Amino acid sequence: MSVHYNYPEILTWLEQKAKQEYGSSFQFIEEDKTNITKLMAYFLKDEATANQFGIDLSKGILLSGPVGSGKTTLMAIMKYINHKDNKFYMRTCRDISFEFIKEGYEIIHKYSRGSYTQTDCKNYCFDDLGVESNLKYYGNECNVMAEIILSRYDLFISKKVITHITTNLSASEIETMYGNRVRSRLRAMLNLIAFDKTTPDKR
């Protein structure tokens, strides 16, 4: 049996929840509502609406747009409508890079296949892809996020583990920074939802 969602009503409710968390001045702007509706359809697992937008519910989300377009906040507030079996954890790519400096290659293992004491693979949203830089651990340079993404692609294929990413980078910038292989894997495992480059900074 298909469920019919009242998106304008959910949008109003979600904005109220966000106001409680981020302050009374928080509001969705009209130009963003199509992208927010796409996110809602995805996290509500509304197959009919997702199909209309060309969104594959078996993949994750790549939310891209200029600095200050609200990507991180939008992903964070989706917890209010997210299905329990679609739960994900948010980590900034910058923090993961700092963890790598401190703990080394185990961090790549942690975010791709779980820790050594853990067999379950978590769904993650890697926030702000592109702000981290190549880092050295005992003199060995490593593109930490590229390695994690490649490993998580394998998990997506074998176990349907979901990855979400927010970024300010364009597709060509991703390829320049992480290589063609990573760009190809991202295309295969994520739905692109992009804000226009002219989207105003909301901060």
Question: What confidence tens digit (pLDDT) does each residue in 7-62 have?
Answer: 999 999 999 999 999 999 999 999 999 999 999 999 999 999 999 999 999 999 99
Domain residues for the domain of 155 are 54-194
Distance of alpha carbon 87 from alpha carbon 181, whole angstroms: 27
Place of tokens 């290589």: 179
Q: pTM of the full predicted structure?
A: 0.89
The residue ranking higher by pLDDT, 162 or 113, is 162
Number of domains in the chain: 1
| CATH code, domain carrying 148 | 3.40.50.300
Show the tokens assigned to 39: 């996110």
Concatenating the DSSP letter of every residue in 131-155 gives SS--EEETTEEE-HHHHHHHHHHHH
Residue 29 lies in a domain: no
40 lies in some domain: no
Report the amino acid identity of residue 49.
T
Distance CA 169, CA 175 (A): 10
Residue of 93, 162, 82, 84 whose CA lies nearest to 121: 162
* Residue 69 included in any domain: yes
Q: Is residue 116 domain-resident?
A: yes
pLDDT band at 132 (very low <50, low <70, confident <90, very high): confident
pLDDT tens by residue, 140-185: 556 889 999 999 999 999 989 999 999 999 888 999 889 999 999 9
Please check whether residue 148 lies inside any domain of the structure: yes
Burial of 73 (0-12, 13-18, 19+ CB in 10 A): middle
Task: Identify the band that residue 96 occupies on the pLDDT scale cut at 50, 70 and 90.
Answer: very high
Q: What is the pLDDT of residue 100?
A: 86
Does pLDDT of 4 surpass 90?
Answer: no
Identify whether 126 is part of a domain: yes
The verdict on residue 47 lying in a domain is no
Is residue 201 in some structural domain?
no
Q: Do 167 and 127 meet the contact criterion of CB atoms below 8 Å apart?
A: no
Taking Cα atoms as reference points, which of 156, 183, 129 lies closest to residue 59? 156
What angle do helix axes 171-178 and 180-189 make, rounded to 10 degrees? Answer: 130
State phi, psi for 81 to the nearest 5 degrees. Answer: -120, 0
